[in-house]
Amino acid sequence: MYSTKVMEHFRDPHNVGVVENADGVGKVGNPVCGDIMELTIKVDDGVITDARFRTFGCGAAIATSSMVTDMVKGKTIAEALQLTNQAVAEALGGLPKIKMHCSVLAEQALKSAITDYYEKHPEAKPAEPEALKAPSECPPNGECVLGVETAASGDGAGSAEGESGS
C-alpha cells in the first residue's frame, strides 16, 4: 500500500520538533480524519535554513510532514512557495489516492508558515504573493477539497512530536 520511502519517513521521520525562535509557524488540520500538522521555519536572508514539524496523524501525514521539511531546507521563500502537494507525494514515491489529502496538508502547513513569516517580516513580502493562495491541487477523484477529506480514513493515528505518541 505505501512506498518504501513513505515507510522510511514514517518510521524514522526527519526534522521532528520545533524550530527555536521560529520566523514562521504554520498550523493546519483536517477535521474529518483528525490529522494536525505544525510546521516551523527559520529564514535567513530569504532562505529557509531550518524547518521542523510536529504532526498528529496517520503514517502518510507524518511522512509528508517529514518530506516537506527536507524539501524546503536551503530553498528561498520564492522556491518554497512553488512546492506543490503533488511534488511532495512524488518525492515519497506516491501516495494512495485516499491519502493525497496528507500532501495537501503538508503544502498548506508550509504556506501557512510562510504567511506567518511575512506577517512578522512585512518588508520581505513581495507585492503579489500569488503562491500563498490555498493549494488547489486535490486528487481528480475529489477525495479532498482544500485538504478536507470527504470520507474518514480507517487507519490508526500516530504522532511525531519528539516524544512517544499514541
Find cell 506577517 and name the residue. Answer: 119
Q: Is 33 a catalytic residue?
A: yes
Backbone angles phi, psi at 97, to 5 degrees: -50, -40
**Residue 102 annotated among the catalytic residues of the structure:** yes
Cα–Cα distance measured from residue 95 to residue 35, given in angstroms and rounded to the nearest whole number: 16
Find the catalytic residue in 58, 102, 138, 144: 102
How far does Cα 101 stand from its chain's mean position?
10
> Helical H runs in 38-121?
59-72, 77-81, 85-91, 100-120
CA pair distance 2, 88, nearest whole angstrom = 14
Q: Grid coordinates representing 5?
A: 520511502
- The catalytic residue positions are 33, 102
